[in-house]
């Protein structure tokens, strides 16, 4: 089950991908990580999908990561008494905290935190940014606005307030219930929505308690102000371009995407690029050329993974979407310009033995023409350091901890195998060679580069590098 590419694919499960046969087809097509979107579906539906994924893991003896995506706060207007209305440019429109129903001149907004953050001139976006209001006057429970961009408006449309850090936790009561359910179930990653500040990551980390890896979804411009600290506190990042693009001008999103990927590369944190990557494939069997270019751009930038949302969850061509994404990744990584681009950003190793060994492994593999880098890891940190170097060869990761192998299924270039810890140098080399051949990474006569830590099985103790030959 070796993938002949380094970047990974995250596939969202939903109505189009619920049965064992459908999920199995997505895995065979190239999905490395499955996303359970807790904005939709009951717990038992997610449990059933989880069980299918774990059964596939046993069938193919390949670790698969499961990503729980929490819904986060949903800020919406209320309902209208007589159905949808239409806002015209220049008209006055009032928002009220306590109103029960709206009309042509007013809408309920049952979110006191919004009113607490307003000031004169504040921009309020409605319905994914399609309508734009500007605050003229406001109080603790009301706001008089002027319509800058009008259009139709109906019940329960979303509200965004760009440029303001909202005084609100990213975890709702629903999220806390969903989180505990997911952790008990055994998810490998937890994606946190509505991240605005480093404290949001600290809050969820205190609840997760290392039972899963925590991923911050960058979908609020406020998070960009403290991006470095957010990257430092979390275990991975998702560039949620759809929501980010509501509050940012569309022309700003590509640059911000590159900024986030760069920050993750330098910090050695996995990063997913998400939202609308092959959006036309919800209804079409092939992507547009622009979408293919979009996926390729994320790969050239060095993203660890790219994600399918509606394409695999609710589209008419879920398997084809994964197949096309896999083909685009593989072709991009084979492009002659890929290697110079991907190595242009080269993170400096920290002054530690593990970083020095990981950096040396990439260089040695290049110099001796090794077929693969084999890393022994307990916590996963050795594999993450190796991936940060973006070596020319794949990273065969050997670990005794199944949870580590599953989390690393998201990592660029990592092919994870669960195996018992070694106890001697001889066993270290023999096992590395045997598994490299068995997993189709090397053949007799090839060289491999092996890294490990002594004492064996000690987390974070990588201090050994060995060149090994596969016996003929």
3-state secondary structure (DSSP) of residue 308 = strand
Q: Tokens for 139?
A: 């109080």
User: What is the distance, to the nearest Å, from the Cα of residue 257 to the centroid of all Cα atoms in its chain?
Assistant: 13
- Angstrom distance (rounded) from CA 296 to CA 303: 10
Find all residues with CB under 8 Å of 168, minimum gap 6, and list them.
73, 113, 194
Instruction: Kindly report the backbone phi and psi dihedral angles of residue 281, in degrees, each rounded to the nearest multiple of 5, phi listed first.
Output: -80, 0
Q: Tokens for 268?
A: 């050695």
Q: Beta strand pairing status for 79-80 and 414-418? A: unpaired
- Angstrom distance (rounded) from CA 257 to CA 264: 11
- The angle subtended at Cα 466 by Cα 465 and Cα 472, nearest 5°, is 155
3-state secondary structure (DSSP) of residue 163 = coil
- Contact between residue 471 and residue 442 where contact means Cβ atoms under 8 Å apart: no
Question: Active-site residue among 12, 145, 275, 451?
Answer: 275
Q: Please say if 211 is a catalytic residue.
A: no
Q: Please say if 35 is a catalytic residue.
A: yes
Q: Please say if 217 is a catalytic residue.
A: yes
Question: Active-site residue among 5, 8, 35, 390?
Answer: 35
Residue 129: which of 248, 280, 224 has the closest Cα?
248
Transcribe 20-53 into DSSP letters: HHHHHHHHHHT--EEEEETTSS-HHHHHHHHHHH
Residue 365: which of 392, 397, 338, 398 has the closest Cα?
392
- DSSP H helices, 234-337, are 241-247, 253-267, 289-301, 310-313, 318-334
Question: Active-site residue among 74, 76, 176, 229?
Answer: 76
Residue 442, CB half-sphere, CA atoms under 13 Å: how many? 30
Which residues belong to the active site? 35, 76, 217, 275
């Amino acid at each position: 089950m070796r993938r002949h590419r380094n970047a990974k694919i995250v596939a969202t499960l939903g109505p189009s991908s619920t049965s064992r046969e459908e999920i199995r087809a997505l895995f065979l097509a190239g999905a490395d990580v499955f996303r359970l979107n807790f904005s939709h579906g009951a717990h038992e539906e997610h449990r059933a999908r989880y069980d299918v994924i774990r059964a596939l893991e046993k069938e193919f003896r390949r670790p698969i990561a499961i990503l729980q995506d929490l819904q986060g706060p949903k800020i919406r207007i209320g309902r209208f008494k007589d159905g949808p209305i239409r806002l015209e440019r220049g008209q006055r429109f009032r928002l009220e905290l306590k109103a029960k129903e709206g009309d042509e001149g007013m809408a309920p907004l049952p979110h006191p935190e919004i009113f607490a953050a307003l000031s004169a001139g504040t921009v309020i976006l409605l319905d994914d940014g399609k309508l734009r209001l500007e605050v003229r006057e406001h109080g603790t429970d009301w706001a008089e606005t002027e319509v800058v961009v009008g259009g139709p408006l109906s019940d329960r449309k979303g509200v965004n307030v760009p440029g303001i850090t909202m005084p609100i936790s990213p975890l709702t009561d629903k999220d806390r219930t969903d989180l505990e359910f997911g952790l008990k179930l055994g998810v490998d990653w937890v994606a946190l929505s509505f991240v605005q500040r480093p404290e949001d990551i600290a809050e969820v980390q205190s609840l997760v308690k290392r039972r899963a890896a925590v991923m911050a979804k960058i979908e609020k411009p406020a998070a960009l102000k403290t991006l470095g600290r957010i990257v430092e506190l979390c275990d991975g990042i998702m560039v949620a371009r759809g929501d980010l693009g509501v509050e940012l001008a569309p022309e700003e999103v590509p640059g911000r995407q590159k900024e986030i990927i760069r920050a993750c590369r330098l910090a050695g944190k996995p990063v997913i690029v998400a939202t609308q990557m092959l959006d036309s494939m919800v209804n079409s069997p092939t992507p547009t050329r622009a979408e293919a270019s979009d996926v390729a751009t994320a790969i050239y930038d060095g993203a660890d993974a790219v994600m399918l949302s509606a394409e695999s969850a609710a589209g008419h061509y879920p398997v084809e979407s994964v197949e096309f994404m896999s083909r685009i990744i593989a072709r991009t990584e084979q492009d002659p310009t890929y290697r110079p681009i991907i190595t242009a950003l080269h993170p400096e190793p920290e002054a530690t033995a593990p970083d020095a060994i990981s950096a040396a492994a990439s260089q040695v593999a290049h110099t001796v023409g090794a077929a693969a880098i084999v890393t022994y890891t307990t916590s996963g940190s050795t594999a993450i350091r190796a991936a940060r170097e973006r070596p020319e060869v794949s990273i065969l990761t050997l670990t005794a901890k199944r949870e580590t192998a599953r989390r690393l299924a998201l990592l660029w270039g990592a092919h994870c195998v669960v195996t018992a810890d070694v106890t001697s140098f001889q066993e270290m080399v023999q096992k590395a060679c045997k598994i490299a051949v068995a997993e189709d990474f090397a053949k007799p006569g090839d060289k491999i580069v092996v890294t490990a830590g002594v004492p064996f099985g000690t987390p974070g103790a990588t201090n050994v590098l060995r060149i090994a030959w596969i016996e003929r």
